[in-house]
Each structure stands twice: as structure tokens, then as C-alpha cells.
Amino acid sequence: MDRTPAFIPASEALTDRFGRRIEYLRLSVTDRCDLRCVYCMAERPDFLPKSELLTLEELTTVAETFIRRGIRKIRITGGEPLVRRDVVRLIENLGRHVGSGLDELTLTTNATQLERHANALAMSHLCRINVSLDTLQGDRFARLTRGGDIACTLRGIEAARRAGIGIKINTVALRNENEDEIPAMIEWAHEQGFDLTLIEVMPVGDVGSDRADQFLPLTAIRDRLEQRWTLTDLPDSTGGPARYVRIGETGGRVGFITPLTANFCAGCNRIRMTCTGTLHTCLGHDDDLDLRGALRTGGPGAVDRLIDTAMAIKPEAHDFSIARGGAPAVTRNMARTGG
């Protein structure tokens, strides 16, 4: 396989109309998941026919086109990416570009499938994983995921740790659900040597409940944490929207992703592609470009041209807001968009 050159000509580098350098691709491989988290999808979701998904070969071709255009970080997402058959082969293909085009190849997962895939992932140049985990309490986990078994997720995390994969925990802050447990989650993560990032619930897709009932502003959570611990702001970045603090008493880092209380769009470096090849320039807008059609009719050259179009239409900021009884900001759900 050809290696992508580390130097990207200025004429090919991805810069949007606001001068932001786009270097981070979130690449969804499936909309399917083995959990049904209450803030992510409806209890009985309508999954896409498998025939509509890009093949692994097509996903590889599109991803390599993005790498050639200056994408430095790719995150594999879903749904739950590890429920897709042979997804490890895709990760192996893209892992060959780490250090030669890509700085990072990462994965977001609920960890339910990690126990059987951890060793193969560790050998594929996967740099680290983000594990979605909103509670450590078994009964609460089952309720929030609509039937999930926390023991399976914890075994997956331990398998990844043993395999030497870097791990970060992502926790969605949910009003009246897990807000009382957030300090304990932080203490547990830091005891394990993991960073933990808190995320505000986002008004994306219809999940069968009012997002206003779920929304918990992280400004309030930070205030509570500062009453308990010493928080020091850090300049650290992992290439995403999180802003980090160090907790003096635990020694670990906590990230805050705040799409509603502290808009982070000015520094956006991201673009998203769904498992069907639909390119979204912003999580909070319903714009889309059909890379699957372009690839199948015109090959990588046609994909290149649509990527240029994406840079010309990427909005300056999202329009997220949460109001009681209000409609979602976008109709597609997170699992279909790529979490």
C-alpha cells in the first residue's frame, strides 16, 4: 500500500472558509449498536439496511483520500463500531498510515466487544480508545442502556488495558440520572490511570424523551467539583473539543465538552462521514454531501471535489439549543451520524 506523504501541498490541505484547518475525520462504520442508551437512540431504532453501508474497501479508499488531503487524526465511530464484521481489518488498513500521514487512529466504543478484540486492536496501531461509560452502578447502567450488562463493559476495559491500549472514559452528564455519581466516576477513572471527559447531552435525533429533562450544564458540575477539589486549567488538547483541568487531589485530568454552555466552534477542526458515505461538515446542521455516490460513479477524484465543496459550505457554528418540548437541532440520531 502506498504511504501517504507527511508533507501536504498547501493547495490540497483542507481549510474551510473561516480559515480553520480541518485535520480530524470522525468515520462511522455502522449505525448499529448492542446497547440502546437513552440519550442516543430510540428504544426500538430503525437501523439502515446493510446494503446501504459503504464496504470496508470503500471506507478505506475514502479515508485514504482524506489522509492525502491532510487529515491527521481519524476516529472510528458508530453506533458501536466493533459490532461490524471485519472492522478490525479496516483499522489494520488505516493503522498502516500512523506515523506516515496520520498522527492518530482512535476508536470510540461502549467496550462490550472489547474483550475479544483488544489484542488485535493493539496490534493494528490503534493509538487509544474512548469508552462511553455513564455509571459504575449495575442497575443504573442497565436502565441507561436499556438492558446492558456493566460487567461486560468492565471486562472489555480491562482487556484493553492488559493489551496496552490507551483508554479515556467519556461520561454524558444526565440530570437526575448520574449527576450524583460524577465525583465517584472521576475518582475511579483516575485510580485506573484514565482521563475522564464529561459531555453535555446534545439535541441530536429523536430518542423518545425530552432532552430538557436530561440536560445538565457542565458549568454547574464544575462549580460542584471546585467545592470538593482543586481544579487547574490546562492547555492540553487531544485534537477534539474537550477543555481539560487537572485535579490536584487525584492527579488526573478531567475534560469538559460543552456544546451548549460554552460553544467551542471557533476552533473546530472536524468533519464527519456516516457509514453510508454521507459527509456532514457540522454535527449541528443537516447539510450533507454524498461521498458514496461520488466514489461509485467518479472514483477518488470525485470524492476530492466533494471534499472541496465541504470546505466551502462548512458553517461557522452549530445552532444547538435545548428547550422543553423543543424539536432536536437535527433529525438524524447520533448513532447514524457517528458518535
Q: Does 33 carry a binding-site annotation?
A: yes
Q: Does 202 carry a binding-site annotation?
A: yes
Considering only CA atoms, which of 23, 222, 203 is closest in space to residue 103?
23
The CA-based dihedral angle spanning residues 163, 183, 110, 154, taken in that order and rounded to the nearest 10 degrees? 50
CA distance 112 to 110: 6
Strands 231-233 and 195-200: unpaired
Q: Does 41 carry a binding-site annotation?
A: no
**Count of C-beta atoms within a 10 Å radius of residue 175:** 14
The CA-based dihedral angle spanning residues 202, 288, 207, 45, taken in that order and rounded to the nearest 10 degrees? -140
Q: Does 24 carry a binding-site annotation?
A: no
CA 214 to chain centroid, in Å, comes to 20
- b/e code 111-140 from CB counts within 10 Å (16+ = b): bbbbbebbeebeebbbbbbbbbbbbbeeeb
Q: Does 132 carry a binding-site annotation?
A: yes
Q: Does 100 carry a binding-site annotation?
A: no
Q: Does 272 carry a binding-site annotation?
A: yes
Is residue 164 reached through a cis peptide bond, with omega within 30 degrees of 0 on the bond before it?
A: no
Q: Does 108 carry a binding-site annotation?
A: yes
Strand, helix or coil for residue 117: helix
Q: Does 50 carry a binding-site annotation?
A: no
Q: Does 73 carry a binding-site annotation?
A: no
CA distance 155 to 239: 28
Q: Does 268 carry a binding-site annotation?
A: yes
Q: Does 36 carry a binding-site annotation?
A: no
Q: Does 26 carry a binding-site annotation?
A: yes
Strand, helix or coil for residue 241: coil
Binding residues for GTP: 26, 75, 108, 168, 270-272
Binding residues: 26, 33, 37, 39-40, 75, 79, 108, 132, 168, 202, 265, 268, 270-272, 282
Binding residues for S-adenosyl-L-methionine: 39, 79, 132, 202
Binding residues for [4Fe-4S] cluster: 33, 37, 40, 265, 268, 282
